[in-house]
Amino acid sequence: MERKKISSVSPMPELSMAERLKVVRQARGLTQQQMADLLEISRPSVAQLEGGRHQPSNEVLETIVKELNVSRNWLWFSSGPMEDEGAAGGNIILLGKFTDSEYIDCPFIRVPVRAGFVELIATEGDYGQYEAMRIYKPSPELRRAGTLVFEIDGDSMEPQLRAGMLVAVTPVPLEDIKYTVSGVYVATFGNQLTIKRIKDNDLLTKRQLVLHSDNPRAGILTVAGEDIRGLWKVVDIIRGRVE
């Protein structure tokens, strides 16, 4: 496939994700059907993505980065030039402290490395060389130190949270977990990492915490208070998948 050079490589932060997808396709001289064939999806799905009616999956975005030589930073986050000027596609590995800017860079915890993540709980927020996720115009709550991004695994929190979605979470201090109620949380206990809903809290009376699934087929988990190693409140959905 012949690749057309983009005439301008200046940042275009005003473009939405849908607009960036359309710009990429047109810049490479592809029809919607050709883009659909490249991404192995249907032509109507391409139209829905470009119309902003659905959000692209991680697989779709990474295929565009690889096959069309587009900067990952620009495609995912509208940051920097559109053309890929490096072999890694503009990967972000920025784990510095938050600043009072229009974005923050948070450690992105992929589900396949969750065991390694649990082992790092006791290291005071040093998450090593995890990939970073950039969040633009974060809420004041997300600007708190310790904000992370998790990828949803499984179907226990459907229909609201589906596998592949990315959620931003903020930490609950260990001394405050016994007072935590009403919300969706990422919890670590023993060597497990899960995302569940807390409806009521029995840590003060029964020294246990009941974690509920939104999916009625998935059931509940009862965790002993002494086994809880960390708790993060789910604040926002950062990205979903195309159905």
Helix, strand, coil % over all residues of the chain, rounded to 5: 25, 25, 50
| Tokens found for residue 213 | 């699934």
Provide the pLDDT for residue 207: 92
- Supply the pLDDT for residue 1: 45
Q: Which CATH class is domain 103-239?
A: mainly beta
- Name residues whose C-beta falls within 8 Å of residue 76's C-beta, 6 or more positions apart in sequence: 61, 134
Residue 169: beta bridge partners? 148, 234
Q: For the chain, which residues make up each domain, given as ranges?
A: 17-77, 103-239
CA angle 130, 134, 135 (to 5 degrees): 130
3-state secondary structure of 49: helix
Q: What's the pLDDT score for residue 39?
A: 92
Q: How far apart are CA 120 and CA 164, in angstroms?
A: 23
The predicted structure's pLDDT at residue 127: 55
pTM here?
0.57
pLDDT of residue 134: 77
* CATH topology classification for 17-77: 434 Repressor (Amino-terminal Domain) (1.10.260)
Identify the pLDDT of residue 206.
92
17-77 with 103-239: one CATH topology?
Answer: no
The list of the chain residues with pLDDT below 70 reads 1-14, 79-80, 84-101, 111-130, 240-243
